[in-house]
Amino acid sequence: MIRPVVSLPQLDAVDPLSDILQKLRLTSSFFSRATLRRPYAVEARGLGGTAIFHVIVAGSGAVTLKDGESRRFTAGDIIVLPHGDAHVMAHEPATQGVPLASLPRPPCDDGLPTVTQGGGGEVTSIVCGSFAVDAHYRDALFPLLPRLLVRTGDATTAGWLDTTLRLMTREVRGAGPGSDVVLTRLADIVVVQVLRAVVADPPPGTRGWLVALRDPALARALVLLHGSPAARWTATTLARKVGMSRSAFFQRFAELMGEPPASYLGRFRMMLACDALSQRSATISDVAARVGYASDAAFSKAFKRHVGSSPADYRLHASDAADA
């Protein structure tokens, strides 16, 4: 396991995706491989709060959730389970398989842990990974994402990610000067590439920022909200900034984001507040002003409504956790 991955590279927010990705602070990541031969079926337990992805390097099959929702995959596909749902990877749709935890995972020739399972047929080669996002950011940016996302047909991306992971395992084996920094940056790049691939082609019915970033007006609105969270934004002012009528903007935002602009902004402000309080880098009054509240009392009331505790209690708990 590679941990901690402290943050994604701090690039200038030249586009909406860069702005979102700057705020996804990764707390851990893990990568492995799977070599599966038809017929095969491997059951992976869920990882609550941790996203899971699979990059299909070769072969084909189906990924199936425990409730039966299933999608077929082939070489070049990228599968993402944003909420870490339990699932089965098999040559045909299946809700049961050999438990992954029961299979040995010796390192393959590039050093990554590798699961082998199945019969003697066609090989399906998969790069598997998981990444955890700081809870404040996950709660603001991930709740409306579907349980299963599949980005189809990009063999170039799959090959590029496969090569990147080989570089990472080479760094692990070599452990030379600066290896920790190199591993952190490469892990960042892998996760960014996975999310970029999904943003490029979200499945029908997806709501949240993954699909909103494909809409020029909503993408601009998100950049405005994230760039100046303390501003007195309303649906009217945002609509004017992006060149839409208020009613059309409000309807599109609610439809694609799954909630009204004010609701999203409120959650986003609390995400920033939680982060600042955890860092112990500012007073509660400073945090309140930074996220758009004119008084400590108004901020404390909103914070307790969203988070369930007062800012002072939250800071104390975060300090105790950091010192443990």
What is the three-class DSSP state of 314? helix
Region 171-177 average pLDDT: 60
pLDDT given for residue 15 in this prediction: 63
- Of 108, 111, 107, the C-alpha closest to 171 is 111
Of 10, 13, 258, 23, nearest in space to 137 by CA: 23
Range of lowest pLDDT (3-12, 195-204, 297-306): 3-12
130 Cβ partners below 8 Å, 6+ apart?
29, 30, 47, 50, 51, 52, 53, 84
| Model pLDDT, residue 10 | 35
299 touches 288 (CB < 8 A): yes
Q: 76, 137 in Cβ contact below 8 A?
A: no
Longest CA span, the chain: 68
Give the domains, in start order, of the chain with CATH numbers.
Answer: 16-203 (2.60.120.280), 215-323 (1.10.10.60)
Residue 9 pLDDT level (bands cut at 50, 70, 90): very low
Evaluated on CA atoms 96, 101, 106, 108, the torsion sign reads positive
pLDDT tens digit sequence for 233-290: 999 999 999 999 999 999 999 999 889 999 999 988 998 898 889 877 789 999 999 9
Angle formed by the axes of helices 235-242 and 261-279, to 10°? 100
Choice among 10-14, 170-174, 227-231 with the minimum mean pLDDT: 10-14
Report pLDDT for 171: 64
What SS3 state is found at 14? coil
State both tokens at 199. Answer: 């943003």
pLDDT tens digits along 118-168 = 999 999 999 888 888 777 667 766 776 788 888 776 667 677 777 777 776
Q: Which residue has the higher pLDDT, 185 or 92?
A: 92
- Give me 248's structure tokens: 């059309």
List Cβ neighbours of 123 (8 Å cut-off, separation of 6 or more). Answer: 35, 36, 37, 58, 59
Q: Is 216 exposed, middle or buried (0-12, 13-18, 19+ CB in 10 A)?
A: exposed
pLDDT tens digits for range 58-115: 899 999 999 999 999 998 888 889 889 999 999 999 999 999 999 998 877 766 789 9
DSSP state at residue 120: S
Q: What is the mean pLDDT of the chain?
A: 82
Helix runs in the chain, H state only? 16-22, 135-141, 155-174, 179-200, 209-212, 216-227, 235-242, 246-257, 261-279, 284-290, 296-307, 311-323
Q: Collapsing DSSP states into helix, strand and coil, what is residue 163? A: helix
Residue 84: per-residue pLDDT: 92
Ramachandran region of residue 123, left (φ > 0), alpha (ψ -120 to 50) or beta? beta
